[in-house]
Amino acid sequence: MNEQFLLQMQQILKDEYPAYLESLSNPPTRGFRINPLKTNEKDFFEKVDVSHTKSPYAKYGYYTDDKKYGSMPEYASGAFYMQEASASSAVTVMDPKGGAVILDMCAAPGSKTTEILELLENQGLLVSNEIDKKRSHILLENVERNGASNCIVVSNDPLQLAKQFPGFFDMVLCDAPCSGEGMMRKNTEAVDQWTPQLVEHCASVQKEVLESVYTCLKADGILLYSTCTLNLKENEYQIKQFLERHPDMQMMDTNVNFGRRALCEEHDIQKAIRIYPMDHGEGHFIAKMKKCSVTAPCSIKQLKSDLIPKEILSLLKDTIEEVYPYLYFKNNRLYGGTYPFIDTGKLHLLRNQVYIGEMLKGRFEFSHHFFMSSYSKFKNTYEMSDEEVKRYMHGEQISANVQKGWVAMCYHGFVVGGAKSDGHALKNKYPKAFRTR
């Protein structure tokens, strides 16, 4: 490991340095969160046989020793999400509440976005942004699987978000790109890539992103800054400079019983917290701040829907118990959501709430996202056996006498995807990209 990095850790940790060094030789911790939009702890552990111990870092977070998760149907259904335990701490500190309008500025792959959505319980709105186009598609997949009905996914430079949404958000999460010093056990790339120049580069990107984040916050808005690095320049000193540039921003208490005090007394920065690899996690820094000035709120236009054809509406009513409070129909595509459909202007929009489906050559085709959505119960469901779910996820047709029409394909009661029944066979609608080989 880089000597300069270790020297810096020695200076930061002092007496605790030997414990840190020892922790580096242990394997990284593994964790997951149960998705309360789709299940609860009792239901989940009755159905899914996985090793688990509760994590202190998140309401629905657990540690596990199991490695089999990725290919499980319950994973495909969005009933749980894999996330290193200490990484879930930032959203716990943020404490998003139903009804809040939130921005996640650096969101891919979506661990914190999905955690926020779980706590919002399909109320309020989350705009989830990822600058990197390739990573934004992974974010979208994770948002779809999560099933929330109140998320907009965009892929833009933070400057463009600041232009579109000045003073709009109650809360902004800035989980900034960083030098990854808290990921040294988990990710050998972080060890190889670390240089003092990388730290300087990350600090300058973080400074710029923070400026856009500040613009997006409304009066009394809350900013949550987090990194998975342990470097003072990217954490305490970054926040110190930010608070000096913006005297209307004030540090807030984290009100959690984990983490250690941050390493700076000025401007109350010691209210921020640090988590180290010897704290049953990997490594994180979390600072919570409030904007105390008056910012003129921006007004955002609502989108005007085309007239929704009657046959689509009645198909929707026949398929789910309760239709979304808001529907938006444009270019033959139907979207549903629990927040009014807002105009995202010139932003590169990947998804506006739930993509229900599309009118194609005289028939309406439901999307996979619709089957993943947690808002409404499906009227026509089919519970697959162990053998059938394997065949379904492989893309095969399932023979079964099921009422004609669209069917939600379930395993252990969790919807894994959709199918169309002709009465005797279920035509597979599981996306080709997700099929097992």
**Residue 51 CB neighbours (<10 A):** 10
Considering only residues 66 through 125, tell me which ones interact with ligand SAM, judged by CB under 6 A: 106-112
- CA nearest 132: which of 289, 281, 348? 348
Q: Does 31 bind ligand SAM (CB under 6 A)?
A: no
Q: Does 209 bind ligand SAM (CB under 6 A)?
A: yes
CB of 142 to ligand SAM, least distance (A): 8
Name the residue nearer to ligand SAM (CB basis): 121 or 211: 211
Q: Of residues 177, 309, 405, 413, which one binds ligand SAM by CB under 6 A?
A: 177
Rounded CA-CA distance 129/344 in Å is 12
Q: Of residues 13, 138, 205, 263, which one binds ligand SAM by CB under 6 A?
A: 205
Q: Does 182 bind ligand SAM (CB under 6 A)?
A: no
106 is a catalytic site residue: no
Find the part of the chain contacting ligand SAM (CB under 6 A) among 27-35, 129-137, 254-262, 318-326. 129-137
Longest CA–CA span in the chain (Å) reads 71
CB of 112 to ligand SAM, least distance (A): 4
Name the residue nearer to ligand SAM (CB basis): 103 or 320: 103
Q: Does 316 bind ligand SAM (CB under 6 A)?
A: no
CB of 197 to ligand SAM, least distance (A): 16
Rounded CA-CA distance 215/361 in Å is 45
Q: Does 309 bind ligand SAM (CB under 6 A)?
A: no
DSSP 374-422: -SS-BSSEEEPPHHHHHHHHTT--EE----SEEEEEEETTEEEEEEEE-
Q: Does 23 bind ligand SAM (CB under 6 A)?
A: no
Q: Does 282 bind ligand SAM (CB under 6 A)?
A: no
CB of 91 to ligand SAM, least distance (A): 9
Q: Of residues 116, 131, 243, 275, which one binds ligand SAM by CB under 6 A?
A: 131
Rounded CA-CA distance 393/142 in Å is 17
CB of 49 to ligand SAM, least distance (A): 27
Name the residue nearer to ligand SAM (CB basis): 209 or 398: 209
Tokens of 67: 């490695």
Q: Of residues 97, 135, 271, 420, which one binds ligand SAM by CB under 6 A?
A: 135
Do the Cβ atoms of 418 and 429 come closer than 8 Å? Answer: yes
- CA nearest 335: which of 132, 134, 144? 144
CB of 157 to ligand SAM, least distance (A): 6
Handedness of CA 238, 239, 244, 248 (dihedral sign): positive
Tokens of 170: 């109650």
Q: Does 132 bind ligand SAM (CB under 6 A)?
A: yes
CB of 347 to ligand SAM, least distance (A): 14
Rounded CA-CA distance 429/268 in Å is 54
**Residue 230 CB neighbours (<10 A):** 27
Rounded CA-CA distance 165/299 in Å is 9
Torsion angle in degrees (nearest 10) through CA of 148, 153, 159, 163? -80
Name the residue nearer to ligand SAM (CB basis): 175 or 236: 175
What is the total count of residues that contact ligand SAM (CB under 6 A)?
Answer: 16
Q: Which amino acid is at 194?
A: W
From 202, 228, 292, 298, the catalytic residue: 228
Strand order in the sheet with 425-428: 381-383, 405-411, 414-421, 425-428, 398-399
Rounded CA-CA distance 436/228 in Å is 32
Name the residue nearer to ligand SAM (CB basis): 128 or 367: 128
Name the residue nearer to ligand SAM (CB basis): 107 or 230: 107
Name the residue nearer to ligand SAM (CB basis): 147 or 158: 158
- To 10 degrees, what angle do helices 196-216 and 236-245 make? 40
CB of 432 to ligand SAM, least distance (A): 25
Q: Of residues 144, 175, 234, 282, which one binds ligand SAM by CB under 6 A?
A: 175
Name the residue nearer to ligand SAM (CB basis): 73 or 110: 110
Q: Can you give the binding site for ligand SAM, defined by CB under 6 A?
A: 106-112, 130-132, 135, 158, 175, 177, 205, 209
Active site residues: 228
